[in-house]
Structure 1
Amino acid sequence: MGLNALRRPARPHVAAQPPAPDRTLAGRYTLRDVVGRGGMGVVWTATDRLLDRTVAVKEVTFGVHLDDGERRVLRERTLREARTAARIDHPCVTHVLDVVEEDGRPWLVLEYVPSRSLQQLVDEGGPIAWDVAARIGLDVLAGLEAAHAAGIVHRDVKPANVLVCPDGRALLTDFGIATATGESSITTTGAIIGSPSYMAPERAHGGRPGPPADLWSLGATLYTAVEGRPAFSRPEPMATLMAVVSEPPAPVARAGPLEPVLRGLLAKDPAERPTPAGLRDQLQAVLAGRSPAPLRPPPPAPAGAPAPHPVARDGERVQRFDAADLATLASASVQALGTVARDARDQVHHLAERHRERRAGRGPRPEDGARTASRRDASPEPTHRWRFKRRWIVVPTLVVIVVLLAVAAGLFLLAASELGWL
């Protein structure tokens, strides 16, 4: 049964209609133009009438098939966490200036930064150079460290949420599904929300996200930047999430010296990923022209590796995965691990049998081919006869010959001495 057949049908949800331009929120922020849309809302440019400046306003819609109870929980948490995110003051993070609530929806007022998202740059211009990606990675890492120091895990680091300014500076934006460490689950039913292509394996397993999850997402983001495609793109969101959990990333072709950095960041085990300080050293080494020390050896290149999967945009959008989806994912992961374990066990048994055959003196010879193997399997008796002959005939005969040669040599030396030859 395919993963699509295991997905429960989504509950219908009618998204709120976007407000008309020139609407004023909280008597202060006049909406102008839509500059972006995503799975969690719509971003507008607006005018702050009090301070006479341009700001960005994000209407958080939660248009991801949530029920009323989950929508209420998310609204309350978004308001609370937006106020927490407003404490982050770092040049590599878009500042949260205000948060208001109208029509039962949160509206985040953000610093307006003339820029384009990393996703737009890749979509319109193709993969970017590895050194440019390394500089962007350093900026996003600095922003993540500031957020983590404030007790906030972003949980949706991806190219669409990385803004690149004309001068090359990068900023991390959109803390729409961020969580403060120590908070309760994001929904009331055990579901998780995120972009499958950029969701860390521990999140897919239902674990509590921490700073290492954001670093994994940063690795997936940089991979997309230099390769022009996600590392785990599959046609369906659940298939993408399955690949994140159980498969290695697609081989890189353009990463250059960034390859060991990406490999370390995309480790399945959070303990194997670099620390922020270690990642900074690696990225700086790349920019300085030094080869960063890999955290672990590269995996062997698979023979006849399949072609990369086509880019699936669903893997880049925010998706909702119910508890039933996660149970299906866990079951499929266990089955995959069981298959790997069985293959490993069979390989060990095969190697052990080969070793026993060599020790028995009947290892397969390439020139004999299949005939040798079938003859050996059909009649094992000659091997036993050879062992008997070697033990009771060949070895004693050789010993006797050696003794006789020694005696003959001794007699020859004695005769030569008596005759004065020596």
Structure 2
Amino acid sequence: MATVVMKFGGTSVANVERIQNVARHVKREVDAGNKVAVIVSAMSGVTNQLVSWVQEASPLHDMREYDAVVATGEQVTAGLLAIALQALGVDARSWTGWQVPIETNEAHGYARISGIPATAFKAAIEGGQVAVVTGFQGIEPNSNRVATLGRGGSDTSAVAIAVALEADVCDIYTDVDGVYTTDPRIVPKARRLAKVSYEEMLEMASLGSKVLQTRSVELAMVYKMKTRVLSSFVAPEAMKAFSIENSEDIGTIVCDEDEIVEQQVVSGIAYAKDEAKVTLLKVDDKPGVAARIFGPLSDASINVDMIVQNVTPDGKHTDMTFTVRSTELPRALDVLKRAKADIGHFDIKSSADVVKISVIGVGMRSHAGVAAQMFKTLAEKGINIHAISTSEIKISVLIDAAYAELAVRTLHTAYGLDSD
């Protein structure tokens, strides 16, 4: 008997028919004698609709009320799946994040899990009941208010619950049958990776891959939680229930680097279209100016990614360019406007018509020339680079959005990732 956590995303539960298909996947594990917790997202498109209503009501809104609205989508899915499981003769009940409880900090809209004191929840699973949990959400105990974990937060909910339950595996079911070298919709020759390291998956997740959310990979890496990416669209009867013996037969396993026998220099190409570029022009070039720019953004929980600073010809001013998520652009501009007196004089330009392209691979640690090949390949296609950032296992560039697919396809071929 194993403890299995299964997570199903929005496309997997897009309608009642798909929810019934998910119920059959869950029943497969129950029939094998496994103890099961299921984490679900809202039905496909529901969260987007809820967010659009909030934006329509007020572009600059109270994030606590934002959470109250957008958290409702998962509750519908959890209830429907519990009903579908009961119809198959499976003992199941739905749990909201606050019932488990999944406790969070006070950063509404982007909350982090602080603990899961889930005594009754664990007892229900140990007793053989399937727990169907609303992903993406928890409760901020000081104010006793619902808090959401950010888009894609159901993945984080799943890994956190798997850790709390000391589960044998956390299976993430999605609309693809594993992690690919890049988006197969853009590059038909993209290959499925049987295994990918936590570090590579973390970079892929943070750089645009939609398979797993960044914080879920962080949690899995810290706690060494065995995590698999599987397809919910494979017929349940065609898949085996989890056991240690068949755990590597399907999907992609996210694991330690030393578990991967053959490691390529570059494992994948990621892209992120939800980027926006902000440039502050003619800022005084003096100590502390960067802190006065990025401090208020940090206080507003706005994540900044690429940063490029150029000193102007007069030597007295600097131009500061950085990127934020496109959804955060209005708030970032508002924060900078309110901080202008403290920052000093500047002009500002912004654009959401950009995309970030990244090459990723732990093999880059021991191989030179990866960056040079990237820059040369893009130059040969006439693609201009606006900004560059690097880490030990990735290189990212910011380019015009119009060249996104061309860049991904060209780099995928240049690094030898195309399938035969």
Question: TM-score, length-normalised on structure 1?
Answer: 0.25
Point out the structure with max Rg over C-alpha: 1
Name the one with the larger strand percent: 2
